[in-house]
Copies of this chain bind each other. A is one copy, B any other.
Amino acid sequence: MIETKTTDVIEFHFDFASPFGYFAAQEIDGLAARHGRSAVWRPVLLGAVFKETGARPLTEIPMKAGYARHDIQRTARRMGIPFQMPSPFPFATIAACRAFYWLDALDPEAAKTLAKALYDEAFGKGGDISSAQSVVQVAAGLGHDAGQVEAALKDPEVKERLRAVVQSAIEREIFGSPFFIVDDEPFWGHDRMAMLEDWLQNGGW
């Protein structure tokens, strides 16, 4: 139901606490459209995956932390988009994910718009999207009914949908953010989008 595996889509997996997921979110729909594809957005909880791989957020690893923070800032400057590192970081994303999957079942395009607004709040403005209230507020800002969103975040069906997506991501070895799958071919990282586009252009190597 959640897993989409048709040949004309690009699966775009990301974590709401991933700066490089935020960057990829600005570009993936345009990239897909240039090649007659559409992107299916799939936020995941990387914390659950990191338990399997023993990985830690880049920004917590000795030496890599300083580089990562610098690289993130210059990538935003290069892209010419607003960027502010949220504090605290990393942060909980379970409410953001649940809101996404609630809406995705009703209207995938609206869910993308919500995801972009959540990313913009977190990394465009450096705001907090870790709590249920903050997620409800962002959704309400897009015209969604606050009470309905609040209820959705507690809905066992929505929780189960997210759980199934994360379980599937672990089984499919989706271990980072952003992580793309196109024609069964995996691409990990914002800096792999050029390679992904080359793949779409030239049909693989």
Q: B-contacting residues of A (Cβ < 8 Å)?
A: 49, 52-55, 61-64, 66-67, 70-71, 74, 77-78, 173, 175-176, 186, 188-189, 191-192, 194-195, 198, 204-205
Q: Establish whether residues B52 and A62, one from each chain, have CB atoms under 8 Å apart when the complex forms.
A: yes
Contact of A54 among B62, B74, B77 (CB under 8 A): B62
For A74, give the chain B residue with the smallest CB separation: B205
**Using Cβ atoms and an 8 Å threshold, which residues of chain B touch A194?**
191, 194
**In the bound complex, how far is the Cα of B77 from the Cα of A52, in angstroms?**
30
Q: Copy number of this protein in the oligomer?
A: 2
**In the bound complex, how far is the Cα of B67 from the Cα of A186, in angstroms?**
8
**Using Cβ atoms and an 8 Å threshold, which residues of chain B touch A55?**
61, 64
**In the bound complex, how far is the Cα of B198 from the Cα of A52, in angstroms?**
36
**Using Cβ atoms and an 8 Å threshold, which residues of chain B touch A62?**
52-54
For A189, give the chain B residue with the smallest CB separation: B191
Interface of chain A: mostly helix, strand, loop or mixed: helix
**Using Cβ atoms and an 8 Å threshold, which residues of chain B touch A71?**
188
**In the bound complex, how far is the Cα of B79 from the Cα of A176, in angstroms?**
25
Q: Establish whether residues A205 and B77, one from each chain, have CB atoms under 8 Å apart when the complex forms.
A: yes
**Using Cβ atoms and an 8 Å threshold, which residues of chain B touch A53?**
61-64
Q: Establish whether residues B78 and A198, one from each chain, have CB atoms under 8 Å apart when the complex forms.
A: yes
Q: Establish whether residues B52 and A205, one from each chain, have CB atoms under 8 Å apart when the complex forms.
A: no
**In the bound complex, how far is the Cα of B186 from the Cα of A77, in angstroms?**
16
**Using Cβ atoms and an 8 Å threshold, which residues of chain B touch A173?**
63, 66-67
For A56, give the chain B residue with the smallest CB separation: B54
Contact of A52 among B52, B63, B195 (CB under 8 A): B63
